[in-house]
Structure 1
Amino acid sequence: MNRLIDSHCHLDRVDLGPYDQDFAALIRACSESGIARMLCVGIDLDSYPAMRDLVDPYPEIDVAVGVHPNESGGEEPSLERLLALAADPRVVAIGETGLDYYRLGDGDASVQQRRFRIQIAAARACGKPLIIHTRAARADTLRLLREEGAAAVGGVLHCFTEDWETARAGLDLGLYLSFSGILTFKKAEPLREVARRVPLDRLLIETDAPYLAPVPHRGRSNTPLYLGYVAGCLAELRGLEVERLAEVTADNYRCLFRR
């Protein structure tokens, strides 16, 4: 059995309908399908306590705390608040944070940048890596990472969809690149070409569940149980057996998140 690690998912948002609304049944199904560990990533501070309580009974689930760039109307991140939450030993990273200009409103860029700087500072202060979201904002994302000294703690460009130039810049900052179900999409050949070039010791895989379900489940609600499709696609691109890819990405996960 391939012991895969889902390096980015939102378990508190996964559809529990197939499991009679039983979260424990979902986690059992993940374990039985070969998912050895999952990282449940926060996107806002208001829902974070409930998410943290939900996953608490399961030591195979790690946690990240942060505020997504598209979140609005909730508690704004502060250095003090993030450091207090990151003191929890189950918290392995700060994020998901970053920049997303895809649907940018007036003033949103400055708000996002201020948040991002605060979360980079929190990661540096607690010595935990960053989980970075970037969409239509690659230049500013890389600039802020450099300006705030993010290389001191490292992190991952999650759900990577950019070009090789951006990948190389991230690698130069000491970052890992994580590939999701998008890698399996028909029109994703440019992304697959990037995935072929990333050094093996910087690769991670994820589902970003419940979003971005891979082919052949595209358009449905995603789940960590579909991680095997991502792993299979990436293994084929790299000319590896899936067992070897599982081993490599698990080692990379443990290295980045100090597990």
Structure 2
Amino acid sequence: MTKHKSWRKVYDSHTHLNDTPFFDDVPAFIARANHYGVVEMNIVGSNCLLNDRAVELGHCYPSLHPVIGWHPEDLATFNAEEEAHLLAQLKDPLVVGVGEIGLDYYNDEHSPHKLQWALFEKQLAWARQLHLPVSIHCRDALADAYAILRDAHVAEFGGVMHSFNGSPAWAEKFMNLGMAISFSGVASFKNATDVHAAVQVVPLDRMMVETDAPYLTPKPFRGKQNEPAFTKFVVDAVAELKQVAAEKVAYQTYHNARSLFLKKDEQDD
């Protein structure tokens, strides 16, 4: 395959143009992203407001793809009414995935682990029923997330470990479940040694790139607000770590994201 030599389309597999820093100026952020070659984005929700906005943006902009679900940090606001609303939204044909869902043990005072597990398992069951891939948030909970995804047979509907920050060994374990691994701006951080090592072991055909904007701004913009345009610099960081052409990273990660979330490949362009 030689197409990547002059090919630089980029897919931001996880970003938040539905969040407050962006929502009132979405066209400007899309234009800036397009300038850097970022032409497709997953707009990821986590609660009622951000899910509603993700779906709204998906209906307004063809290059923005809603991924909606209930984040473990928002567990306290999840109830029967919100569940019914989310289930109805997930049946919207423009919704391409369930996310971000998973486990977060970093600040879990109001999200007991057992309740997180139940919500995670419920949303994985919906993903199976609706044939939608999942975008997984996992913070300080790799072992439990792995066990739940394994028991859910995630390979049968597909998914990605969003902003992966574990070791190479954990990357291998999740790939063995059939998961893709997505890297954020953390791949550009000088001291992120586990992430650097994971980038080096994850094959390009199992990898995605993302910003998680407005968070995790990559070099050379650390300290500033992140945005989808900066996916270009995540691509560059991955390319440097893997010692391959940035165009090759862009090409393969774009293809991987389109294949999982849009059920398309490069021949559909």
TM-score category, normalised to shorter length: over 0.9
Among all aligned residue pairs of Structure 1 and Structure 2, give the percentage whose two residues are the same amino acid.
36
Partners in 2 of 1:81 and 1:106 — Cα distance? Answer: 23
1:13 to 9, 15, 19: 19
Contact persistence 2:72–2:111 (CA under 8 A): no
State the match for 1:22 in structure 2.
25
C-alpha distance in structure 1 between counterparts of 2:84 and 2:75, whole Å: 20
Distance across 2 between alignment mates of 1:155 and 1:250: 15
| Change beyond 3 A, Cα 1:244–1:82 | same
91, 97, 112: which one aligns with 1:93: 97
RMSD over equivalenced CA pairs, Å: 1.9
- Paired AA for residue 237 in structure 2: C
Matched residues in 2 for 1:169 and 1:3: separation?
29
Structure 2: how far apart are the matches of 1:63 and 1:11? 10
Question: 5+ unaligned residues in a row in structure 1: which ranges?
Answer: none
Question: CA–CA distance in 2 between the matches of 1:105 and 1:26?
Answer: 35
Distance 1:152 1:81, change over 3 A: farther
Question: What does residue 131 of structure 1 align with?
Answer: 135
- Aligned residue for 1:181? 185
Q: Is the 8 A contact 2:75 2:116 kept in 1?
A: no
Deviation at 1:141, TM superposition (A): 0.3
Match of 2:60, SS state, is coil
1:74 aligns with 2:92: no
Deviation at 1:16, TM superposition (A): 4.3
1:103 equivalent in alignment to 2:107: yes
Offset of residue 81 of structure 1: 4.4
Which blocks of at least 5 consecutive residues in structure 2 are unaligned?
1-6, 265-269
Deviations 1:16-46 (A, max 9, x none): 49xxx53222212222221110000011124
* SS of equivalent to 1:91: coil
Alignment length (residue pairs) = 256
Show the 5 A alignment for 1:1-259: 2-13=8-19, 15-16=21-22, 21-76=24-79, 81-105=85-109, 108-257=112-261, 258-259=263-264
Contact 2:188 2:218 in 1 (8 A): yes
Compared CA separation, residues 252 and 14, structure 1 to 2 (3 A): farther
Tell me the distance in 1 between the aligned counterparts of 2:128 and 2:21.
34
Please report how far the alpha carbon of residue 79 of structure 1 lies from its aligned counterpart in structure 2 after TM superposition. Answer: 6.7
Q: Deviations over 1:142-199 (max 9, x none)?
A: 1111222222112000000001221111001100000000111111122111101112
Cα distance, 1:56 vs. partner?
2.1
Question: Runs of at least 4 residues of structure 1 off by over 6 A?
Answer: none
Mark the CA change 1:103 to 1:16 in structure 2 (over 3 Å): closer, same or farther. closer
TM-score by length of 2: 0.89
- Higher mean alpha-carbon deviation, 107-116 vs 36-45, is at 107-116
Structure 1 stretch displaced more, 50-59 or 215-224: 50-59
Note closer, same or farther for the CA distance 1:106–1:60 as it changes in structure 2 (3 Å cut): closer
With the length of structure 1 as denominator, give the TM-score of the two structures.
0.92
Name the CA shift for 1:254/1:50 in 2 (closer, same or farther; >3 Å): closer
Separation (CA, whole Å) in 1 of partners of 2:85 and 2:235: 36
CA distance in 2, matches of 1:60, 1:46: 21
Cα deviation, residue 104, structure 1: 2.2
Q: How far apart, CA to CA, are the structure 1 residues paired with 2:221 and 2:20?
A: 15
